[in-house]
Amino acid sequence: MPDHPELTADCASCFGLCCVALTFTRSADFAIDKDAGDPCPHLQPDFRCGIHDRLQSQGFSGCTGYDCFGAGQQVSQVTFGGRDWRSTPEVREAMFAALPVMRQLHEFLWYLTEARALDATREIHAALDRAITTTRTHAAAAPDELLATEVAGERAKVDVLLTRSSELVRAQVRGRKKDRRGADLMGAKLSGADLRGTNLRGAYLIAAELRGADLRHADLLGADLRAADIRGTDFTTSLFLTQTQVNTARGDDGTRLPARLARPAHW
């Protein structure tokens, strides 16, 4: 999202937090087991990944799919003022605990700023502005205040606004819109399907065949697109699509993405 670079991961400004704070479970996504708080063996002294250009082939596709929404650099450079967990071990536990909280707040901001930028949501722009201000205040708080944030309560408030935003956006599509919220569409054959304006919130689209489908104005908040075939799929005006969802799917040069998202290098 060019207008909000703080919500885009900047690994050069982070102390490798996702490589340390998070748990890895040996699976198709991770080649090893790693407990939270233990550095990944591929993390270098300069906090860079030693196999960044080979993550997929080395069995770490989960790393290529992960996106912190800019939480890593916010925690590293703002919350803890540039102190890293190696040279100042006294901040280690608090820093690692702050990452998932910050990531959720930045995810809220990703969705809220997206909704606020849409003409269709004009009637709730003031409410969106208030929610953005509140969320930014939480994200800018000192470590103790940040960790005390009631994330679940904030999520509930944000969801009301995102639900209304979705209704307003999808109303732009003529005809009756499909409601497939939370639907089990794993492996579904939807190539070339007209899914404009469909509510696909939380839908399971793992390994679904979506090649050439039209998902403009579809709500994809929380939809699981892992291994979904999205070659040639049109997402240009899809709602609440994230980099993580795109990174974990199988696309190509013909996949049409919203301007705020980057085309994954591993496609």
- Tens-digit pLDDT profile for residues 122-144: 999 999 999 999 999 999 999 99
**With bands split at pLDDT 50, 70 and 90, how would you rate the model's confidence at 2?**
very low
What would the mean pLDDT of 83-88 be, rounded to a whole number? Answer: 97
User: What's the pTM value of the predicted model, to 2 decimals?
Assistant: 0.93
Domain boundaries, the chain: 5-170, 176-267
pLDDT at residue 73 greater than cutoff 80: yes
Q: How many CB atoms lie within 10 A of CB 252?
A: 13
What six digits make up the tokens of 89? 């071990």
Q: Cα-atom radius of gyration of the chain, to the nearest Å?
A: 19
DSSP class of 148 = T
In whole angstroms, give the CA distance from residue 52 to residue 63: 9
Residue 173 identity: V
- DSSP characters for 48-111? -BTTGGGTTTTT-HHHHH---TTHHHIIIIIITTT--TTT-GGGHHHHHHHHHHHHHHHHHHHH
Q: What is the mean pLDDT of residues 90-95?
A: 97
- Contact assessment for residue 144 and residue 79, using Cβ atoms and an 8 Å cutoff: no
187 backbone dihedrals φ, ψ, rounded to 5° = 75, 10
Mean pLDDT (the chain) is 96
Query: Cα–Cα distances in Å, from 20 out to 32, 43, 76, 155, 202?
Result: 13, 8, 13, 26, 28
What's the Cα-to-Cα distance from 233 to each of 181, 193, 217, 257, 261, rounded to whole Å? 20, 10, 13, 8, 14
The residue ranking higher by pLDDT, 176 or 82, is: 82
Q: What is the pLDDT of residue 3?
A: 61
What is the per-residue pLDDT across 207-253, written as a single tens digit (0 to 9) for each?
A: 999 999 999 999 999 999 999 999 999 999 999 999 999 999 999 99
* pLDDT band with cut points at 50, 70 and 90 for residue 1: very low
CA distance 131 to 160: 11
Mean pLDDT of 15-33: 95
- In the prediction, which pLDDT does 177 show? 81
Q: The CATH number of 176-267 is which of 3.40.1350.10, 2.160.20.80, 3.30.429.10, 2.70.98.10?
A: 2.160.20.80
Tell me the two tokens of residue 33: 């087991």
